[in-house]
Amino acid sequence: MMLQIPQVLTKAQVAECRAILDAGPWVDGNLTSGPQAALAKLNQQLPQESPEAREVGARIVRALEANPLFMSAALPHVILPPMFNRYGEGMGFADHVDNAIRRDPVTGRRLRTDLSATLFLAEPEDYDGGELVVNDLYGEHVVKLGAGDMILYPSTSLHHVTPVTRGARVASFFWMQSLVRDDAKRTLLLDMDAAIQHLSQKLSADEQGVLSLTAVYHNLLRQWAEI
């Protein structure tokens, strides 16, 4: 499942976050890279332990937890603290797959990365290039969203960021371990939840068909969830 989630942050919230981030201590992105990524990545990152990264990261997590579409699609068990990168002119990130296991810098706990997310924090017209390109069984998907919008996709996907030729691409990126590790099962649950919500608007919430579908949804989640 690859899903666009619009307006995770409002334009006003993006402006507030950018004011904080732009004043932060940006460093070479390869300071946080493994050997493989270091050969492919050319960008800047904000250190995870910086006050700016922690402040804006907390704002993003609060926004995600209040977003019904995200919660339904991701079924997050743990959201790793959001990180931040910036691609200036000539910077990009060649094809790579995200690490399967990552360590939460706050708790030290090791987590499985089921889903990857990129939250765009610069408007598309502010830079050229910088598209996120995700490859899956259905081909190549090119993503360049408005500031405040987010793309969610399986962490198993091969992906890259095209070189920026003008301006700067600023974004937040992060991973999460889902309650349901299998992407096909998460997609089925998302479709079922959307159908239930649609029927609930057309019919009474206590109508037998709605109740039955809701019971099936929760019983499937109970069967598939890992806690």
All structural domains of the chain with their residue ranges: 3-178, 183-224
| 190-195: average pLDDT | 97
In the predicted structure, residue 143 carries a pLDDT above the cut 60: yes
In the predicted structure, residue 205 carries a pLDDT above the cut 80: no
The answer regarding whether domain 183-224 maps to CATH 3.10.110 reads no
The answer regarding whether domain 3-178 maps to CATH 2.60.120.620 reads yes
Task: Indicate the DSSP class of residue 165.
Answer: -
Rounded to a whole number, what is the largest CA-CA distance in the chain?
A: 59
158-178 confidence digits (pLDDT tens): 999 999 999 999 999 999 999
Coil vs helix vs strand at 1: coil
Three-point CA angle 61, 192, 152, nearest 5°: 35
pTM value is: 0.94
Contact indicator for 81, 102 with CB cutoff of 8 Å: no
Model confidence band, residue 202 (pLDDT cutoffs 50, 70, 90)? confident
Q: Would strands 27-28 and 132-136 be described as parallel, antiparallel, or unpaired?
A: unpaired
User: Looking at residue 208, what is its pLDDT?
Assistant: 86
Distance CA 9, CA 58 (A): 12
User: Looking at residue 209, what is its pLDDT?
Assistant: 86
In the predicted structure, residue 34 carries a pLDDT above the cut 70: no
In the predicted structure, residue 40 carries a pLDDT above the cut 60: yes
